[in-house]
Amino acid sequence: MITIYHNPRCSKSRDALALLRQHDTQPLNVIEYLKSPPTADELSAILAKLKIPARQLLRTTEAEYSKLQLENQALTDRQLVDAMVAHPKLIERPIVINGERAAIGRPLSNISAIL
């Protein structure tokens, strides 16, 4: 099963969902992460599949990023994960998971690489 962490208001996320539906090879699990944010454990597992540190999943242009002073390099991955769980707008989108592989759909070719 392929899972997409999706924001229907985001054009890149909509494009990623359309790409996945075109492939139509597996069941598709669509999670609107602003309505149903991942838990800290789920987000940590996603980061492991993406093979990136938490900081690389942050949307630095969101107001919460500055408000929470997340630019502070002394913050641990766990602290950043906790911030993203509490404020899911901070999570970069879309995220697509296919088994043990995952990709951030910017650019869309990242998703094609894991299908």
Residues 10, 104: contact at Cβ < 8 Å? no
10 tagged catalytic: yes
Catalytic option among 10, 31, 45, 108? 10
Residues 111, 20: contact at Cβ < 8 Å? yes
- Single-letter amino acid code for the residue at 57: L
Cα atoms in the Cβ-side hemisphere of radius 13 Å centred on 63:
0
User: Could you tell me which residues are beta bridge partners of residue 4?
Assistant: 30, 96
Catalytic positions, please?
A: 10
